Structures are given as structure tokens and as C-alpha cells.
């Protein structure tokens, strides 16, 4: 077991193997050829990437940001130089993967244009998609460029660094606020929609 859990890659692979075994025992491999399977498969990929993205957003807002004032100054570089850059790497690529799989899912479901133009009966998912698209825009075009300055990944004057850290933090808070209605509308479509 230690051999598996000491490596993140092997742990993820073990999860996929467990899924394959359960599907094999249940005899559900046959479903793979069925018309709706790829739609369902895309939904699974979409939820996986969405959970990684919003999980990290909530980690920043529930754990990292409130903990920073309690960490002694000499220990702060561990967060700024090691943990935050790694978390931001997965955060921004998970956001992109969620957008791509979400748009593909809407297309496979046959309502991409209807949802983006907020037409019934895809209005609920359309609202969820627009909220999530604004959040993804914020990640790539506001949070990440400002975090690069704040964390010293790109050069900036001390004053510009402080301002960048504040803009990144406030935008991250904005996204946390949006995540509440976004997730409501994301799951509403399956439950009747409107």
C-alpha cells in the first residue's frame, strides 16, 4: 500500500483501476458503446476538474488567506514560494479543464447555443455556465497575473506587489461568492431546469 500512497500519480492510477474493477464486476462495460455514454463520460471528467478547481478556490479562501496573519514572518516564504505556486498551478489549469469539458458537455447535450443565450429549457444551466465563465476569466486574467507579481514570479515594485496581492485576494473572494449561485444552477438543469 505504501508504494501506492507515496506517489500521487500511482494513487490516482489506483483510483482509476478501482473504477475499472467495479465496472467490470457490475458488467457495465457494455454501456461504453451506448449513445449516451460519452455524454456521461464527459460529465464525469467535468465534475472531476470542477471539484479540483473549486476545491482549491475554497482552500485559498477557507484555509490559506485566513491563516496568513497567524504565520510568523520567517515562515511565510514556505507558503509564498512553495505551497501557493503549486496550488495556483492546479487551480488555473483545473479552471481551464472545467471550462473545456463544460462547453463540450453542453455541446454533447445539444443545448450549447440555447444555454449561452439563456433560452428555455436550458436557462438554468446557461446561468450556471455564465457565472462559471466569469469566474474562469477572473482566474486567468485577474488572479493569476496579480499573483505572479505578489509572489515574485515576475518583477514588481514593493507597492505594486502589495496592490497586486490585494486585487488577487478580493477577486478570489468574488469568485467564492459567485461559486454559491454557480453550483446551484450547475446542478439545477438535472432537476427540472427552466
Q: How far is the CB of 164 from ligand HEM (least distance, A)?
A: 24
Spatial distance between the Cα atoms of 155 and 118, rounded to a whole number of angstroms: 42
Q: Binding ligand HEM by CB under 6 A: which of 56, 97, 129, 169?
A: 129
Cell of 68: 496568513
Query: Does residue 91 bind ligand HEM (CB under 6 A)?
Result: no
Q: Give the residue nearest to ligand HEM (CB).
A: 102
Query: Does residue 51 bind ligand HEM (CB under 6 A)?
Result: yes
CB-CB neighbours of 72 under 10 Å: 6
Q: Which range of residues in 6-14, 24-32, 140-148, 184-192 is near ligand HEM by CB under 6 A?
A: 184-192
Tell me if residue 71 falls in helix, strand or coil: coil
Q: How far is the CB of 36 from ligand HEM (least distance, A)?
A: 12
Query: Does residue 92 bind ligand HEM (CB under 6 A)?
Result: no
- DSSP class of residue 139? I
Query: Does residue 116 bind ligand HEM (CB under 6 A)?
Result: no
**Residues contacting residue 98 through CB under 8 Å, at least 6 positions apart:** 46, 49, 50, 53, 132, 136
Measured at the CA of 36, the angle between CA 93 and CA 133, to 5 degrees, comes to 30
Spatial distance between the Cα atoms of 52 and 179, rounded to a whole number of angstroms: 13
Site for ligand HEM in 144-173 (CB under 6 A): none
Site for ligand HEM, rule CB under 6 A: 43, 46-47, 50-51, 53-54, 98-99, 102-103, 105-106, 109, 125, 129, 132-133, 136, 186-187, 189-190
Amino acid at each position: 500500500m505504501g508504494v501506492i500512497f507515496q506517489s500521487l500519480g500511482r494513487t490516482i492510477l489506483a483510483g482509476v483501476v478501482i473504477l475499472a474493477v467495479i465496472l467490470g464486476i457490475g458488467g457495465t462495460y457494455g454501456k461504453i458503446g451506448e449513445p449516451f455514454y460519452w455524454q456521461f463520460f464527459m460529465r464525469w471528467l467535468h465534475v472531476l476538474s470542477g471539484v479540483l478547481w473549486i476545491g482549491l478556490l475554497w482552500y485559498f479562501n477557507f484555509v490559506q488567506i485566513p491563516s496568513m496573519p497567524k504565520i510568523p514572518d520567517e515562515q511565510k516564504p514556505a507558503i509564498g514560494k512553495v505551497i501557493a505556486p503549486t496550488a495556483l498551478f492546479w487551480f488555473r489549469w483545473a479552471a481551464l479543464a472545467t471550462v473545456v469539458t463544460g462547453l463540450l458537455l453542453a455541446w454533447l447535450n445539444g443545448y450549447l447555443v440555447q444555454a449561452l443565450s439563456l433560452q428555455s429549457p436550458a436557462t438554468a444551466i446557461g446561468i450556471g455556465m455564465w457565472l462559471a465563465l466569469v469566474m474562469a476569466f477572473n482566474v486567468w486574467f485577474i488572479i493569476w497575473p496579480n499573483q505572479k507579481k505578489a509572489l515574485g514570479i515576475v518583477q514588481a515594485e514593493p507597492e505594486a506587489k502589495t496592490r497586486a496581492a490585494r486585487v488577487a485576494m478580493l477577486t478570489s473572494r468574488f469568485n467564492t461568492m459567485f461559486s454559491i449561485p454557480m453550483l446551484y444552477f450547475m446542478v439545477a438543469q438535472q432537476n427540472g431546469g427552466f
